[in-house]
Chains A and B, each alone.
Chain A
């Protein structure tokens, strides 16, 4: 069935290094993708989004890349900080009147001080 999934369950990164979190999706009709960050005891928090008509989008210290040919998403975090430690989810959101979000399984990012 349609799914949004992640390659790695855990990623350990040295503080100050760049982090790359990858995600694969299976629905070629997917139009809108989101990365969420979830810290312990909190709900998912929006980080950055990208529409299917874009290849790249940048935010503050974060960049999302979309490769529609291989149905792959990545989240890059520059100069990773201890506060970036969390679980990261890629997700797909339906459009129009149906706005449900379909989440991947999540990648836990551990920042080593």
Chain B
């Protein structure tokens, strides 16, 4: 069974440009999460989808970040316009259930560098 996949693995863009990250969860997982780790800091939650709906977006830093999950399958995270402080590693995770505790499976991450 394929795990969570993310694309691209690495992106280098200039400040002010737009970048779109993609996450493909494990097939059948209704829950999809985005996290990120900026330099020197811990991994922080961004948001949580249940199917195509945003369950919790309390971690989104500002309105330059837009996450979508049309059709409840893959998700995209767009940063527009990118700022220097957006540099870091963006992780996506997926899980099967909602009630109780379900293991979240993480993808390898997308390393974003804003110059």
A contact residues, range: 20 to 34
In the complex, A93 Cα to B33 Cα: how many Å?
13
Q: Which of chain A's residues have a CB closer than 8 A to the CB of B43?
A: 44, 89, 103
Does any Cβ of A come within 8 Å of B95's Cβ?
yes
Cβ-closest chain B residue relative to A98: B56
Does any Cβ of B come within 8 Å of A1's Cβ?
no
Interface size on B, residues (CB 8 A): 30
Majority secondary structure, A binding face: loop
In the complex, A93 Cα to B99 Cα: how many Å?
12
Does any Cβ of B come within 8 Å of A18's Cβ?
no
Answer whether A103 and B44 are a contact pair too, CB < 8 Å, given A43-B106, A46-B104.
yes
Does any Cβ of A come within 8 Å of B70's Cβ?
no
Q: Which of chain B's residues have a CB closer than 8 A to the CB of A41?
A: 108
Does any Cβ of B come within 8 Å of A99's Cβ?
yes
Q: Which of chain A's residues have a CB closer than 8 A to the CB of B58?
A: 100
**Pairs A-B, 4 closest by C-beta atoms:** A43-B106, A103-B43, A100-B45, A105-B42
A-B contact pairs, 13 of them (CB 8 A): A41-B108, A44-B43, A46-B105, A89-B42, A96-B98, A96-B99, A97-B98, A98-B48, A100-B48, A101-B93, A103-B42, A103-B43, A103-B44
